[in-house]
Every structure is written in C-alpha cells, then in structure tokens.
A = this chain, B = another copy of it.
Amino acid sequence: MTVATTSRAATLERAVQAIGERSYWSAFPEHPKAYGEDAPGAGEEAFNDLLGEPFAIDGASGDFIDVAETSPFGIELGITYPASDVDTVIAAAANAMGPWGRLSVDKRADVCIEILETLSDASFQMAHAVMHTTGQSFLMAFQAGGPHALDRALEAVAYTYREIKRLPEPLTWEKPQGSRDPLVIEKSWITRPRGVAVLIGVSTFPTWNGYPGIFASLAAGNPVIVKPHPATILPLALLVRIARTVLTERGLDPNIVQLVVDTPDAPVAKELVMRDEIGIVDYTGGSAFGRWLEQNATHAEVYTEKAGVNSVILDSAADLGAVFRNLSVSMTMYSGQMCTTPQNIFIPETGVDVAGEIVSYEDAAAGFTSAIGALLGDDARAAAILGAIKGTDALVRLKDAAQLGTVLLESREVDNEEFPDAVVRTPVVVEVDGNSGLFANEMFGPIIFVVRTASTDESIRLAKESARANGAITWLAYTDSDQIRDAIIDAAVDAGVSIAFNLTGGLFVNQSAAYSDFHVTGGNPAGNASLTDPAFVARRFVTIGVRTEP
C-alpha cells in the first residue's frame, strides 16, 4: 500500500508537470496490447456477465428498475439498475461530504488515482460497455472510453490538486506600524467542498465527457451523484461501482460516489439539480437542456458542453489528396457523433490553390466526396470507421438533411457482419450555398455539408457567424497563406473556437489530447467545459481564512 501510494504520488506529480508544460504525456496506455494477453478475453467475459442481469451496487437499494438503455449494435443489453430516490441519495451525499471534504487534498487525490487505476485494469470490460451503449467501434470505445478518459480524469485531479496546493502553509503576517510594534497575526487557510456535485452524462462519450467533472469535484472534496444518460448507463454505472469499492476498501463512505438512474418517462435531472444541497452541475448533451441548466440552476456552478457546429475552411493546400484523406476520416469516424466532428466544409467557388495551380470548386468538391466514397466503399472498413448510430433522431436528421441541398453523396446502409442488427449508415454529403444559412445549426450524426462560398473571406465569415450563434468547439483550416492564416486565427479568437491548420497526417481535428488541448473554450454557445483548465476547477472549492492574534 505504501509503495502504491508513492507511485500514485509520482503519477500525480507527473500530471501536474504535464498540465504546466502541455507537451505530450499519458498515464494510461492507449494500445490494447499493453494490457497483457489475457486482458481482452477477461474483459469481454466480464462484460458478457453483466448482460441480462441486475447491476448490483453494494449499499444501494435492493430494488432494480428497467431502463431504456439501447445498443446501436443491436445486441440485447437487458441490464437493470438499482432504483434510487432523490431525497435518499442527496441526504447520503450531504452526509458523506463532511469527512471527505476534511481529508487533505493529497489523500483525496490518492483515492481518486486509485479509482482511475482500478478503472484502467477494467479497460476491456469498459470498452465493451462503451461500444455497446454508444455505437463506437471497439478501438475507439477502448481508447476514448478507457485510457483517454482516464487521462482526462487524472488531468482534472491534477488541476484541482494544483489549485488547492497554491495556498501557502500557515504563516505569520507582520505589518509594520512605524515606530510602534508591528501588527502580528497568524494566518492559515482551509479549503472546503462547494457542495454536492451532479454529473449528467451524455449518450455518446459517457466516460470521456463525464470523468473530468466527476474527478475534479471529488478531488476538491465534493461527493458526486452520477446520473447517466437514460440510453447509455452501463459505462458510468461501472465507474460508480468501482469507485465505491475503492472507497469502501479505504474505510471511506461509499456514498461519496452514488448512481441515480432514470428513464425518459421519469427523468430526475431537474429535480436533482434544483435541490439546495447541489453546488456543482456538470453536463454534456443537447443545447436546450444545457441552457435550461445555465438559466435555472443558478445556485450551483454549472459546467456545460452543448451543441456546436464545427467547420473546415479550405483555402489552399500543397496536396489536396492528403487533405481529403485526413478529412474523410475525421468527418466520418463514429458517424459524425463526436462533439469535435466537423460538419461543414467551406470551399470558395473561385477554387482552391493547390501548389500554385487552381483546382476548381467543382473538382475540389468532387475530390472530397470521392475520398469519402472510397474510404467507406468497403462494408467491413466502413463499419469499423462508422461504428453505429446512437438513437433514432440522427436517422431522422439524416433524411431531412438530404432535402436541404444537392446530394453529392447519398447515405447508404452498411452491413456489420459481426452485429447484423447494428444501425450503420454512411454519411450523406449535401452541397448548400453559403447564402442559404442551412448549415448553421448542428445536425448531429452522419451529415456533411459542402458549403459553396464566394471566397475564403466569406468562408471565414460564415464559420464565425455560425460559431457565435450556435457554438463550435473546433475549426480546421487549410491554407498556405500567412495572411489568411492570421485572418482565420483572428476569426477563431473572436468566435471562441480552437483551430487546427493543415492536418494531413495522423492527427485528426476531432482528437483532443489530455494535458495539452483545452476542450470547450467558453467563448461561444457550445459551453464552457474546458476539460480542464483552472476555471473548470477553481470554483469547486471554497477557501476559509483563519486569523489568530498570537
């Protein structure tokens, strides 16, 4: 145990270094092979054992409820979850807060990292849980749902730890009084948790989007009530069970982390967050409920990631083939169901300068479309890239989008050999005019707009307007011109959107690296869940000053 604590302290120290430097680092291996030969099979078995059974949690109520959890891959989940009651859960959380909040941040961080390590050991089980609830391909579910999410969680612990540790040790404050004796006061500072935290999970990336808020709150001393999305429960239920096991083994109150499961027919999020005891709400999901939280849960600190319309600005490039290879992946992986997926590609009708030669708008649009067609031409490869579609709304949008302009590439159904009931569609590529405004709202799912603009200036303006009006998390631009690069950076700054340039290699704009890339900026309606920066953690605790006359 001592050795392990030392190792966890070293991990924390390294994470604190990483958030300061922001260069590459990771604590959790993203290559499945790093977990040993037996891990894949054991993890799959552990997942299969969960199917069709009540999901037992020590200390939770003995009743179980049927839920609306679904698998986009079409398998029957059939898991029931402990029934809970808002009053009981909040009372238990409030009760757990005192002792947890009074532990040192070192101790709390140590517990948090032990939870993360235990989750890491369960990475294969978690991968299947994420895959079968979200529709992500196995590799994405493994990486984004496991190690990448754990890195984001550790990052949140490191930020919280660093903020609390910035307070000085107790000191003697001595103010000169001219010829008289100085004023001498002993001073110290105590931090305490803000209040019970609620995490409202998302259906697509429950762990990656959920862990940072959960672990920042925990490290700051706040008990956390985890309320998963009603259609994607299992991944966060696993987190809660593992967290409670670690807490119990440490002799701590397991109710520091609790699960509340609800159904679309009887949602509990509003009731939960509007209780006086709630001090923090973390939310990822649609804009309407995000705005409701921001406008109504004003007694709590609210961190949100809502919808966004991400853009690609195509101005000029050295190699258009390389551009389209990169874009065809980033715009199709997981069927556009990432909050960082580009939806719109703006191409000027004056064409694209490619190494000094102009490629016409039509040829550029055709090249982009055929790159997507080629990438997804083979069903096996398409299924691996696209994953499956979560929820039926995206299918409705897919149909609607085709009516908005000229269809450059039709969506088609893709067979998934392993999971014949999987819902898999290639994206529709629709051409619309820059003046139409039809692309300015988020159309979450496998929908891509090629937007014909008068010029790159207009492309920039349209990307900026849609980001300011409807939010955006990422932009990707291709240009060889320093002047245009500067103009795009200016627009990105105004629009509050992070920007990537000229990605043609192995990095995709969708990817956001822990310890290095900030997520949502807070500068537009997409929300403020930076995952993580000082603003994401600084209000999760309160500082009390103690002054004593000696």
A interface, CB within 8 angstroms of B: 20-24, 31, 98, 163, 166-168, 171-178, 180, 183, 185, 187, 189-190, 192, 194, 294-295, 298, 489, 492-494, 496-507, 513, 516-518, 521-523, 528, 530, 533-535, 538-539, 542-549
Contact = CB atoms under 8 A, between A and B. Distances in A.
A545 B523 contact: no
Contacts of A167: 22
B542 A499 contact: no
A440 B192 CA distance: 24
A501 B546 contact: yes
Given A522-B542, A535-B538, 19 more contacts: A22-B168, A22-B173, A22-B187, A23-B173, A24-B174, A163-B534, A175-B513, A180-B506, A189-B518, A192-B493, A192-B496, A194-B523, A492-B544, A498-B544, A498-B546, A503-B549, A505-B549, A507-B549, A533-B538
B493 A518 contact: no
Given A498-B545, A534-B166, A516 B173 contact: yes
B548 A502 contact: yes
Contacts of A295: 298
Nearest to A521: B542
Nearest to A299: B294
Contact of A549 (B194, B497, B502, B534): B502
Contacts of A496: 192, 542, 544
Nearest to A533: B543
Given A178-B31, A534-B163, A547-B500, A183 B506 contact: yes
B175 A24 contact: yes
Nearest to A302: B298
A517 B547 contact: yes
B547 A538 contact: no
A180 B31 CA distance: 14
A544 B519 CA distance: 9
A192 B183 CA distance: 41
Q: Which residue among A20, A163, A166, A522 has the maximum number of chain B CB atoms within 10 Å of its CB?
A: A522
Top-5 shortest CB links A-B? A523-B542, A535-B538, A498-B545, A500-B547, A501-B548
Contacts of A504: 549
Contacts of A20: 166, 168
Contacts of A168: 20-22
A521 B534 contact: no
A92 to B, nearest CB: 18
A523 B499 contact: no
Nearest to A98: B494
A500 B549 CA distance: 8
A190 B493 contact: yes
B522 A539 contact: yes
B518 A187 contact: no
A171 B543 contact: no
Contacts of A501: 546-549
A530 B163 CA distance: 15
A75 B549 CA distance: 40
A417 to B, nearest CB: 28
B185 A507 contact: yes
A545 B500 CA distance: 8
Contact of A539 (B177, B183, B185, B535): B535
B539 A518 contact: no
A133 to B, nearest CB: 28
A524 B174 CA distance: 29
